[in-house]
Amino acid sequence: MLRKIIWSLPLKWQIKIKSYYRLGYIVDTDTPITFNEKINFRKLFWKNNLFVDCADKVKVRDYVREKIGSDFLIPALKLGAAFEINDVKNAFSELGPGVLKANHNSGPVQFIEDNEEFKLVNSVIEIKNQLRNIYGLNNQEVWYRRIKPDALYEKKLITEEGEIPVDYKFHVFNQNRNEPVIILQIDYDRFHSHSRVYYDRSFKKLPFSVQYHKGEKDFVKPLNYKTMLEVARTLSAPFSYCRVDLYNVSGKIYFGEITFASDGGYGRFSDKKYDKLMGDYWVIDPRI
């Protein structure tokens, strides 16, 4: 009941109430200073229609293809909103083990390890249920509401050691100068003891955590890391800030996603001063 009441309020007040409970302070969306405040300012005043296409897991592939070429795309098949189990079976036959996902939200995704029908039923039901829901109502990321729901089957990436590859999340702040500020986020042990580490461009661990406890792992530079930085810079160029997620499989780089509101604008920092530090890197989108 309380959630329904909150959702009935104007978007600005939904954000203020949710920020108090999630962040421990009420965000200022009129004169934003912190990173989370600026994300929530963006949710209220965004104007760039590229947000819609780049948040769409199907259409963003066209954006990536145009900017950097198809070599960086994970092999995938669009299944359509009315897909059935046989469509997933066919995709499995073509691509092997993969990830079944909706294009208009942030998951959860379904891992498909084989094409036995009784194992696919729950995965298909889950994604179909997601496609019926309007994502963006709960987290106030309005651009998601404009995405036409669709299903995507994406080939599962595996390292030479048989593990899921590391997800490199590049926070890119473009400040109207030649070199953007780039902060790298890596989440470790996501399915066991989740930790999150932030690194600067010199691979130095930054002294804060967001949402999860700060891990102590030193950065291990992957093959072709310079190319990863170039990809992140190129894909982020039209935006004052975005997060570009990439994978690296033995030096082969794959695009993951582009995010315009990391943690939905409710990522709680271990100390608010670092929320402000990240905000200082961001020359905010104009309110026009």
| Tokens representing residue 268 in the block | 């709680």
- Does 197 score more than 60 pLDDT? yes
Residues of the chain above pLDDT 70, percent: 92
pLDDT at 88: 96
Poorest-pLDDT segment among 83-87, 128-132, 216-220, 252-256: 216-220
pLDDT at 9: 79
- Does 229 score more than 50 pLDDT? yes
- Does 288 score more than 50 pLDDT? no
What beta strand segments (E) does 103-210 contain? 110-112, 151-155, 167-173, 181-188, 195-199
| CA pair distance 244, 231, nearest whole angstrom | 9
| Tokens representing residue 193 in the block | 């003891």
| CA pair distance 257, 244, nearest whole angstrom | 6
- Does 26 score more than 50 pLDDT? yes
Confidence band (pLDDT; 50, 70, 90) for 10? Answer: confident
The pairing of strands 241-249 and 252-259 is antiparallel
Confidence band (pLDDT; 50, 70, 90) for 232? Answer: very high
Between residues 243 and 140, the one the model is more confident about: 243
- Separation in Å, CA 124 to CA 33, 89, 102, 114, 151: 43, 11, 11, 13, 10
Nearest alpha-carbon partner for 27 in 279, 241, 213, 242: 279
- Does 176 score more than 70 pLDDT? no
Poorest-pLDDT segment among 1-5, 66-70, 169-173, 178-182: 1-5
State mean pLDDT over 71-77: 98
| CA pair distance 260, 244, nearest whole angstrom | 9
| Domain residue limits, the chain | 75-156
State mean pLDDT over 197-211: 89
Confidence band (pLDDT; 50, 70, 90) for 214? Answer: confident
Between residues 175 and 37, the one the model is more confident about: 37
pLDDT at 190: 65
* 244 contacts 236 by C-beta, under 8 angstroms: yes
| Tokens representing residue 200 in the block | 């600067």
Confidence band (pLDDT; 50, 70, 90) for 1? Answer: low
- Does 25 score more than 70 pLDDT? yes
- Does 138 score more than 70 pLDDT? no
- Does 120 score more than 90 pLDDT? yes
